[in-house]
């Protein structure tokens, strides 16, 4: 595990929807890279294929596109456009991804962001140099896991057999006891599976970060920071560990991504004029 690298800075506020007509000279910021000369990434920006280009301070560059001063709803179209730009840039550069919907009033404000946080951004870029992120979600087949427990756990198997043989006379207490035994065993198995997966991937990852699981079936929701040179090795290791548990666990593997889970950009809004 590792704590995300944190950068705190200030950004001018943008108007709330409906309070004023949107201006057209804002800048949507996707990410920060190290580059000291202008570069154009094509018309792939949010809001209908806006031109994506660089704004510079010394050897840092913000990847931006022109935008009205609006608050972007996180629709599928908008989020995919934001992610597509970052994925395009990261093919050539190490990136510090910005949060979805980061909008500045002007190019001067973007330059001031780079100037005021130059050292912090430089430090994070050094730490993230040639590193990429992979996401891994693991879901279990609960009934299959329980059936496996019943075969392996003598106490669970004995109590279940006893209840099965005495259906008419089996007590509520016995069934409750069985339920508690199964749940306790499931917690232990889940912890063991998660620990085994992390241990298997540890040699090919720089760091990992666990996120909140979603739903009853998910037992692991993690991000892994990986050296670019280790991408194939990491991929092979995920496949190897998934084969080990193929009858019990389902692996959902995504990436490569910019290091979203390992960089924490905190933007503090200025008071609007």
191-201: per-residue pLDDT in tens?
889 999 999 99
Selected from 1.10.3470, 2.40.350, 1.10.10, 3.30.70, the CATH number assigned to the domain covering 133-257 reads 3.30.70
pLDDT, tens digit, 9 for 90 and up, residues 101-153: 999 999 999 999 999 999 999 999 999 999 999 999 999 887 787 777 767 66
Give the model's pLDDT for residue 80.
94
Q: Where are the domains of the chain?
A: 5-129, 133-257
Question: Which residue has tokens 């059936």?
Answer: 147
More confident residue, 273 or 222: 222
Least confident of 28-42, 181-195, 199-213, 228-242: 181-195
Give the model's pLDDT for residue 15.
47
In this prediction, residues 257-265 reach a mean pLDDT of 85
Give the model's pLDDT for residue 86.
95
Residue 181 half-sphere exposure toward CB, CA atoms < 13 A: 17
pLDDT, tens digit, 9 for 90 and up, residues 65-109: 999 999 999 999 999 999 999 999 999 999 999 989 999 999 999
Give the model's pLDDT for residue 268.
56
Residue 124 half-sphere exposure toward CB, CA atoms < 13 A: 26
Give the model's pLDDT for residue 247.
83
Residue 12 has pLDDT above 90, yes or no: no
Give the model's pLDDT for residue 190.
84
State the Cα–Cα distance between residues 246 and 72, nearest whole angstrom.
41
In this prediction, residues 28-45 reach a mean pLDDT of 95
3-state secondary structure of 246: coil
Asked whether 65 and 26 are in contact (CB, 8 A), the reply is: no
Least confident of 1-5, 59-63, 101-105: 1-5
Tell me the two tokens of residue 26: 């804002």
């Amino acid at each position: 595990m590792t704590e995300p690298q944190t950068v705190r800075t200030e950004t001018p506020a943008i108007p709330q929807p409906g309070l004023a007509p949107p201006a057209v000279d804002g800048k949507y910021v996707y990410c920060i890279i190290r580059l000291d000369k202008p570069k154009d990434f094509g018309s792939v920006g949010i809001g209908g294929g806006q031109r994506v280009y660089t704004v510079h301070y010394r050897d840092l560059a913000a990847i931006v596109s022109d935008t009205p001063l609006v608050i972007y709803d996180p629709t599928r179209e908008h989020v995919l456009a934001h992610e597509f730009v970052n994925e395009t840039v990261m093919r050539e550069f190490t990136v510090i991804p910005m949060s979805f919907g980061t909008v500045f009033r002007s190019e001067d404000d973007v330059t001031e962001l780079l100037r005021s946080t130059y050292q912090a951004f430089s430090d994070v870029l050094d730490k993230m140099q040639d590193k990429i992120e992979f996401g891994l979600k693991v879901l279990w087949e609960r009934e299959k896991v329980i059936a496996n427990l019943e075969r392996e756990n003598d106490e669970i198997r004995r109590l279940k057999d006893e209840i099965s043989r005495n259906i008419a006379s089996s007590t509520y207490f016995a069934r409750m006891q069985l339920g508690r035994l199964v749940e306790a065993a499931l917690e232990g198995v889940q912890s063991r599976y998660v620990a085994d997966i992390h241990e298997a991937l540890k040699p090919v990852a720089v760091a990992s970060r666990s996120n909140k699981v979603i739903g009853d079936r998910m037992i692991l929701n993690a991000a892994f920071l990986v050296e670019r040179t280790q991408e194939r090795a990491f991929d092979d290791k995920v496949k190897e560990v998934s084969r080990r548990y193929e009858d019990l666990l389902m692996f959902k593997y995504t990436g490569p991504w910019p290091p979203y889970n390992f960089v924490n950009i905190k933007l503090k809004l200025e008071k609007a004029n």
